Amino acid sequence: MRTRSASAPLLGIAFALSACASATGSTTAPPATAEQSKAAAPTPSAVTAPSAAEPAASAPAPAPARGGPGWLGVELAKRDGAEAGVLIRSVMRDSPAEHAGLASGDVVMNIDGENVSGPTELRAHVMKAQAGARVSLGVLRGGETRLFAVDLEAAPNDDELMRKNYVGSRAPDFGSLDTVQGSITPSLPALKGRVVVLEFWASWCGVCHVMAPTLNGWHDRYSAQGVTVLGVTNDPVDVAGRTAGELGKGYPLATDTTGNMQRAYRAYALPTLFVIDKQGNVRDVLIGYSTPRLREIEALVRKLIAEG
């Protein structure tokens, strides 16, 4: 859908706005991925290929339907110097890689017998193989090379990826944030016992401007009932403060100048909303603007307020 002007009346019409792509830079650019971790839920059995130490599973899960580019479900990084292979930085929950038994720290040396030297090369092999195909990965783990058989799947959409990776898990720590406005301490431990609606936004993101009235409304209605709406940006404090004034943002804001929090939450498309319960667990994620999904999230917030 086309991005709407922040000043356009919403009139209760159900619509969705595409998210703004995050600005890239040394502190905010997402790491290279095998199928870009637009991330995220994210108990099938392992399908590791036979080896001397690990016999094959007796009843591997059936392969998914074929068609479309393949998806592995890992976040990759290039190895230091001239070292061969591709480092698996993280494995997404409920992904083909997790099902096969791959883990963070593994190094993919080859796919279907062909050596790979970088994330882009591995990604191309995976996509070419297509969803439903089984690929063989030669993986270096703990000084030993093992063979893993992976049944590729079709890539989920952005929201599905984020929910796969985060919903039901402990929310990542916020790290070091600078307060832009508001009297709260912008840290996860300080907000324990409260429901947190965490917004990633930027001054240049038009869709974020459209989101502001909704979050203002939630702040006004629910803050006294134990809800904290917190907006986090990579913008400098002065830019964030000036934009907040122009948009009439009334809820607490902080800036993540290091980009560490953005990376921990994989908030590379803006706006991204996380709902965190009183115990610090992620309960929902939304990328972009969707009135039906915002209604669902508000209903969830009311439910979480009632939880002990």
Where in the chain are the domains? 16-21+159-306, 70-154
* In contact, 296 and 167? CB cutoff 8 Å: no
| CATH number, span 70-154 | 2.30.42.10
Task: Single out the residue of 77, 41, 47 nearest to residue 59, CA to CA.
Answer: 47
Regions of the chain with pLDDT less than 70: 1-18, 21-66, 308
Rounded to whole angstroms, the Cα distance separating 74 from 199 reads 25
Q: Which amino acid is at 95?
A: S
Rounded to whole angstroms, the Cα distance separating 1 from 197 reads 24
Conformation bin of residue 174: beta by default, left when phi > 0, alpha when psi is -120 to 50: alpha
pLDDT of 3: 35
* In contact, 28 and 255? CB cutoff 8 Å: no
Q: What is the pLDDT of residues 166-182, one digit of tens each?
A: 999 999 999 999 999 99
Q: 139-167 burial by CB neighbour count: b if 16+ within 10 A, else e?
A: bbeeeeebebbbbbbbbbebbbbbbbbbb
Rounded to whole angstroms, the Cα distance separating 99 from 57 reads 12
* Phi, psi (deg, nearest 5) at residue 173: -60, 150
Which H or E element spans position 150? Answer: strand 144-151
* In contact, 65 and 132? CB cutoff 8 Å: yes
pLDDT of 217: 98
Looking only at the bridges linking them, the beta strands covering 253-255 and 227-233 are parallel
Indicate the DSSP class of residue 208. Answer: H
Assign domain 16-21+159-306 to its CATH architecture.
3-Layer(aba) Sandwich (3.40)
pLDDT of 159: 86
pLDDT of 71: 95
pLDDT of 20: 82
Would you mind telling me the total number of residues written for the chain in this entry? 308
Cis peptide leading into 271, omega within 30 of 0?
Answer: yes
Tell me how many degrees the CA angle 162-165-169 measures, rounded to the nearest 5.
120
